[in-house]
Amino acid sequence: MEMKPIVELKNLSKTIGKKKIIDNLSLSLYPGQITGFLGPNGAGKTTTIRMMVGLMEATGGDIIIDGKLLADDFEEGLSKVGVIVENPEMYKFMSGYKNLLHFARMHDGVTKARIEEVINQVGMQNRIHEKVSTYSLGMRQRLGLAQALLHRPKFLILDEPTNGLDPAGIREFRTYLKMIAEEEGVSVFVSSHMLSEIELMCDRIAVIQNGKLIDIRDMTEEQESHYYIEAFPTETAESMLKAEGFNVEAHKEGFIINAEKTQIPGLIQQIAAHEMQLFAVQPHRKTLEDQFLEMTGGGQIAEAHTK
């Protein structure tokens, strides 16, 4: 049975003046799945998200949330959505609990029991009655997550959710997010430029460039097997690898080849037979950053190397 998407973007377009910011973007987002949304700065990530939450009107195309057109029934559509933006707004002079009570009043039917439930889900039982001004950034992010989950949204949008968090805070946040996607079947959409983070957090990624969706790939699929080989003289090594039929890509001091583990012993014998010096043979996994740069032709994502 094919899963029904919670959110569908169909030929979504946005033109401002004469500039096409978003160009025929189509994307489906599924329950229980975390999709990362990547693209160089200015590619249209924020514009897409703003249209999805109704802060901006689309020039063309449709946004369908839980089977209903957002344009037709705006309030009904958005009642299914939870949003976390970078550094969520909180009342710092109130406790975390009072903040949640305040936000709960904005939605129908959020009970005290539900408030307790989200507090437990994001692991804040011990600190919830303390003032938000005493919280670390990581705690505030978790409170933001709790707040976004109060009304049991089917779809959660996060825009740069881990900005400014330390590694422990990021790891914590990631754990809670994965748990919520799995346990509640929420579809999660994360826009970020921190590639290492997206790689660990997401089930799949959608890449946007110049307003067009250029790639969607499943992060859970096994990648084909690559090895890094470093041998001297380099030219001899390269011509021998090519003669053996390997796809050869220069990398650091040596080469990356697509090879299976079983081919490696024979390859080492070949290198020895050619009387080359062998310095390294190791499995090589392409990082999301490598993949991203391949996809976008080196289209720089801001601060891709940071953190």
Instruction: Going residue by residue through the chain, which has 307 residues, state the pLDDT in tens, using 9 for 90 and above.
Output: 468 999 999 999 999 998 899 999 999 999 999 999 998 888 889 899 989 988 889 999 999 999 989 888 888 888 889 888 666 678 889 999 999 999 898 888 899 999 999 999 888 999 999 999 999 888 888 899 999 999 999 999 998 887 778 888 888 888 888 999 998 899 999 998 778 888 888 999 999 988 999 888 888 766 678 899 999 999 999 999 999 999 998 988 999 998 888 999 999 999 999 999 999 999 888 777 777 777 777 655 444 333 3
Residue 192 CA to residue 37 CA, distance in Å, equals 7
From the centroid of its chain, how far is CA 234?
38
Task: Check if the beta carbon of residue 283 is closer than 8 Å to that of residue 258.
Answer: no
302 domain-assigned: no
Mark whether 173 and 249 lie in a shared domain.
no
Alpha helices in the chain (DSSP H): 45-52, 74-78, 96-104, 112-121, 137-149, 167-184, 195-201, 234-243, 264-273, 288-296
Check residue 26 and give its pLDDT.
Answer: 95
CATH classification at residue 261? 3.30.70
End-of-domain residue from the set 197, 218, 239? 218
Mark whether 251 and 140 lie in a shared domain.
no
The residue count of the chain comes to 307
Mark whether 65 and 210 lie in a shared domain.
yes
Mark whether 196 and 135 lie in a shared domain.
yes
Task: Check if the beta carbon of residue 176 is closer than 8 Å to that of residue 122.
Answer: yes
190 domain-assigned: yes
206 domain-assigned: yes
Number of domains in the chain: 2
End-of-domain residue from the set 186, 218, 250? 218
DSSP-derived letter for residue 131 is B
Coil, strand or helix: which one is 125?
coil
Other C-beta atoms lying within 10 Å of the C-beta of residue 293: 17
End-of-domain residue from the set 218, 236, 271? 218
Mark whether 114 and 214 lie in a shared domain.
yes
Task: Check if the beta carbon of residue 170 is closer than 8 Å to that of residue 197.
Answer: yes
Mark whether 207 and 230 lie in a shared domain.
no
Residue 121 CA to residue 295 CA, distance in Å, equals 36
CATH classification at residue 179? 3.40.50.300
Encode pLDDT of 121-148 as tens digits.
888 999 999 999 999 888 888 899 999 9
Mark whether 98 and 142 lie in a shared domain.
yes
292 domain-assigned: no
Mark whether 107 and 171 lie in a shared domain.
yes
Mark whether 126 and 272 lie in a shared domain.
no
Encode pLDDT of 95-120 as tens digits.
999 999 998 988 888 999 999 999 99
300 domain-assigned: no
Alpha carbon separation from 259 to 244, 256, 267, 277 (Å, rounded): 11, 9, 10, 20
Residue 137: which domain range? 7-218
Mark whether 65 and 186 lie in a shared domain.
yes
Mark whether 136 and 273 lie in a shared domain.
no
Mark whether 115 and 236 lie in a shared domain.
no
294 domain-assigned: no
Residue 207 CA to residue 119 CA, distance in Å, equals 33
Q: Residue 39: name the closest of 225, 297, 253, 229 by CA.
A: 297
